[in-house]
A and B are shown apart, each in its own frame.
Chain A
Amino acid sequence: MRKDAAVTNDHPSRSRDSESAAGSGPRHRAAPDEELMRALYREHAGPLLAYVLRLVAGDRHRAEDVVQETLLRAWKNVDQLNRATGSIRPWLVTVARRIVIDSHRSRLARPKEVDATPLEVMPAEDEIDKALWLMTITDALDDLTDAHREVLVATYLKGRTVNEAATALGIPAGTVRSRIFYALRSLKLALEERGVTA
C-alpha cells in the first residue's frame, strides 16, 4: 500500500495538525499502513466531522463513529482510491452519508431493504458540492490561528457583539476588533488558496 497523492493532494498540511503529526511521525515510519491512516485523519477527519455533524443534528458521539468508520473504509479501499484522480473527498462524503442512512435505518428497526435504492444513497451532485464546500470552509477556518478563530466564533458565529464577546473572552474590545479584522484577511487568503472567492 502506498501513501500518495490521492490522500494528500487536497491541501498542504495545516500547521496545527502537522505539529502533532511531526511528533509521532518517525516512530511509525516502519508502519506505512498506520502512516496512511494518520494522513487520512490529519487531512480529512476534521472537515468530515463538520459535515457529518450536520447530517446527525449535532450528535457528537454518533458523528465521530461515522467519521471513524468512513476513514477505515477509505484505508481499506486505498488501492482503488489511489487510482482515482483528484480528491478523495467526494468518495468520503458519499460513504459517510451512506453510513448515516444505514445506521438510521437500523435505529428505526425497520426491515432492511435488500439494498437501498441508488437514488436514496447516492447524494445528489449539489449535495456533494455543498458538503465539499463545508469541508473547505472548515479547512480554511483551521488555517487561522487559535486567537483569530476564537474571535470569529465568539462574535459572529455565536451571535454576540464585539463588547459582549470581549467580556466573555476577558480581553479588551479593541483587541477583539483588530483580531476580527486580521482573522478575516487570513480567512480570505485561506479561501482563495482553495479556490473559494468571497
Chain B
Amino acid sequence: MTSHGQDQHVDVGAYVLGVLDDSDAVVFEEHLNSCARCSQEFDSLVGLGSILSEFSASAPTAETLTARPSQGMLDRLVDEVAVKRRTQRQRRLYLVAAAAALIVGGPLAVGTLSASDVHGGSAELAEFHKSPAKFFFDTMKENGTSGTDPQTKVQATVKTEPKDWGTHVVMQIGNVRGPFKCDLIAVSKNGEKQTVTTWTVGKWGYGIKKPTDPRDNKQPLYMHGGAAMSPQDIDHFEVNTLDGKHLVSVKA
C-alpha cells in the first residue's frame, strides 16, 4: 500500500501523527529527505501532533473524544425555558406588587420609583398605575372568596392579605348599577364593623351582565383598602349603599 508520485506529499499528515504503517513510514522518510515541500509541511503541521496528543490524553474514554450533546438535551432545555419564563413573569408581577405596596400610602413617593427600579417590570408598572386595585387583585396568590346576592344579583370577590397594620382587602365587584354611593365593610367575628373603602356607582354601573344600553359598563370595578383587623378575625364583608341598602355579602 505504498503511495507514489504526487500522492506521496499528502503522507506528511499521517507521518506527523505517527500513524503511517511502518513500511510506509520508511518510504516516506526517504521522500521527506529530498522534498523541500514536504519538509515545510512537516514543520507547519508537527505542532498539531502535540495538541491532539494532549487533547486525547485528557479524555477518560474513547467516546469522550467524539461525544456530542444529544438533541434530547436541547429539547429539555427549551421546555425548561418555556416553563421558567412563565413562572418568572409571575415572580416579576409579585415583585412589582411588592414594590407597589410600599408606595400605596405615599403618593409623593410614586415619582421616585421608576420603571427601571423594578426588575423588568415596566409593563407591569404601567398596569399598576392604571388600576392599583386591579393589579393587586390579579397578582395576589389566593383565590379569594365570592358571593352573589340572591335579590340584588350583585357579585363580589374579595381577596385579603395580612399586614402588620391589619388586613389589605382587594375587591372585584360586578353586576351592580347605580346611581348610588356605597361602601365595603369588614365585619369581625364579634360583630365589629370597619369601613374598608367607599365609592360611587354611576347609572351605567360596573360589570353589567346583560347590557341594555351601549353605555352600560361591562367591566367590573376593583377597589382596595385596609381594615384594622387581622384576616382571621374577619367573619365576612358587606357591600352596602351609604343610605343603608344591602347589596352583597362575601364570607371572609
Q: Chain A interface (Cβ within 8 Å of chain B)?
A: 31, 33-34, 36-38, 40-41, 45-46, 49-50, 53-54, 57-58, 60, 63-64, 67-68, 71-72, 75-76, 134, 137, 149, 152-153, 155-158, 160-163, 165, 173-174, 176-178, 180-185, 187-188, 191, 196-198
Contact = CB atoms under 8 A, between A and B. Distances in A.
A116 B45 CA distance: 44
Interface string B132-173: 000000000000000000000000000000000000000000
7 contacts: A33-B85, A41-B73, A64-B70, A177-B14, A181-B9, A181-B10, A187-B48
Contact of B69 (A49, A165, A197): A49
A58 B13 contact: no
Interface stretch (B54-62, B98-106, B232-240): B54-62
Given A46-B69, A156-B17, A188-B45, A53 B77 contact: no
Contacts of B21: 161-163
A78 to B, nearest CB: 11
Interface string B165-209: 000000000000000000000000000000000000000000000
Contacts of B85: 31, 33
A72 B77 contact: yes
B81 A58 contact: no
B126 interface: no
How big is the B interface, by class? 35 or more
B1 interface: yes
A173 B13 CA distance: 13
Nearest to B88: A76
B118 interface: no
B30 interface: no
Interface of B: 1, 3, 7, 9-14, 16-21, 24, 44-48, 50-52, 55-56, 58-70, 73-74, 76-78, 80-82, 84-85
Given A162-B24, A177-B10, A180-B17, 10 more contacts: A31-B85, A37-B81, A38-B78, A46-B68, A64-B73, A75-B77, A157-B56, A181-B14, A185-B45, A197-B47
A187 B16 CA distance: 14
Nearest to A68: B73
Nearest to A48: B69
By CB atoms of chain B within 10 A, which of A75, A149, A181, A187 has the most? Answer: A181
